[in-house]
Structure 1
Amino acid sequence: MKIKTGIGIDVHRLEEGLELWLGGIKVEHEKGCVAHSDGDVLIHAICDALLGAAGMRDIGYHFPDTSDTFKGIDSKILLRKTVELIREKGFEIGNIDSVICMQRPKLKSLIPQMQSCLAGILGIEKEEISVKATTTEKLGFEGREEGVSAYATVLIYKAGMA
């Protein structure tokens, strides 16, 4: 079995009056992400981690923010396409560990919904997806509520490989 790991990170500025999407779900908040797509930092970090683990560059290479094709796109579509890309290379997803850094709103109660959404797209069990949320204790751009960041690590594998 061939096992590979990857790491991904995404950051977006927050602005009033925009929708906030995290982990594939809409989060009620007065601010949302300024982005070419819907700005779902968690999904973008997971896409980068999966693509990196498979040796397939990054999300911007596959889904450039200079393309009108991806303007305003639902990030769940990007995640589905990413899963298709890595599966075409023979990889399956073992597990995902991730964290969202944001001062407000508190996300703890939304994590099970995010896990279910992501599991449905990724085709893995909800228990294989860890989503954590943390504040930065009012430090940095996240703490000042100017932006949000997300980090993800993944394990992918090819069965039958040495």
Structure 2
Amino acid sequence: MSKLKVGFGFDVHQMKEGHPFIMGGVQLEHHSGAFGHSDADVIVHAICDALLGAANMRDIGYHFSNKDERWRGISSLILLQHVIGLLKEKGWAVGNIDAMICLEAPKINPHVPAMKANIAQAAGIDEEDISIKATTNEQMGFIGRGEGVVAYAVCLIEKA
């Protein structure tokens, strides 16, 4: 009999004019981008937190402190690879990932296939086991004003 666990992740980053916008390992064309210590890839950060939470291994900030220069500007896909390694050490395998991005612009749908391919490669799972969706905040709040971007993720992990 296998053991299943579910994890939830959340991430938010401020948008800054003229900054690159990386989402799911894809650079999006936009006048501003998410700003952070790493590449500020909110969807990958939310996925990392969901996976770590499911395995009861704390959170992304614990493993990749924004005070540690090793992580400055790093691709979040590398962080995801590291998280997958931590899970494997404990005998966990990823079942599936379901993620949601909330922002007003740019449109995410054209980039979903590339994002899924990047995340699947980094996580060592099939693209069919990853769902990426996007929504707006109906022009309300900091997301509606384009001041920030948010991502949520849920994952299932399994131990044989």
Let me know the Cα RMSD of the aligned residues. 0.6
- Distance (Å, rounded) in 2 between the aligned partners of 1:12 and 1:148: 6
The separation in 2 between residues aligned to 1:27 and 1:13, in whole angstroms, is 16
Runs of 4+ in 1 over 2 A off after TM superposition: none
Structure 1 partner of 2:86: 85
User: Could you say which residue in structure 1 is the equivalent of 2:47?
Assistant: 46
1:56-135 matches, cutoff 5 A: 56-135=57-136
2:159 maps to: 158
Task: Work out the number of aligned pairs and report it.
Answer: 159
Distance in 1 (alpha carbons) for counterparts of 2:73 and 2:116? 23
The 1-side partners of 2:24 and 2:77 are apart by 9
Q: How far, CA to CA, are the matches of 2:101 and 2:4 in structure 1?
A: 25
Residue identity opposite 2:152 in structure 1: Y
Q: TM-score, normalised by structure 1?
A: 0.97
SS of residue matched to 1:55 = coil
Rounded Cα–Cα distance in structure 1 between residues aligned with 2:143 and 2:23: 15
* SS of equivalent to 2:106: coil
Partner SS, residue 133 of structure 2 = strand
Sequence identity percentage: 52
* Deviation, structure 1 residue 124: 1.0
Deviation string for 1:40-91 (max 9, x for gaps)? 0000000000000000000000000011111111111100000000111000
Aligned to 1:26: 27
* Structure 1 unpaired stretches of 5+: none
Shift in Å at residue 38 of structure 1? Answer: 0.5
Q: CA deviation at 1:13?
A: 0.4
Question: Deviation string for 1:79-133 (max 9, x for gaps)?
Answer: 0000000111000000000100000011111111101111111111111100001
Specify the alignment match of 1:138 in structure 2: 139
* Aligned partner letter, 2:109: K
Q: State the AA in 1 paired with 2:146.
A: E
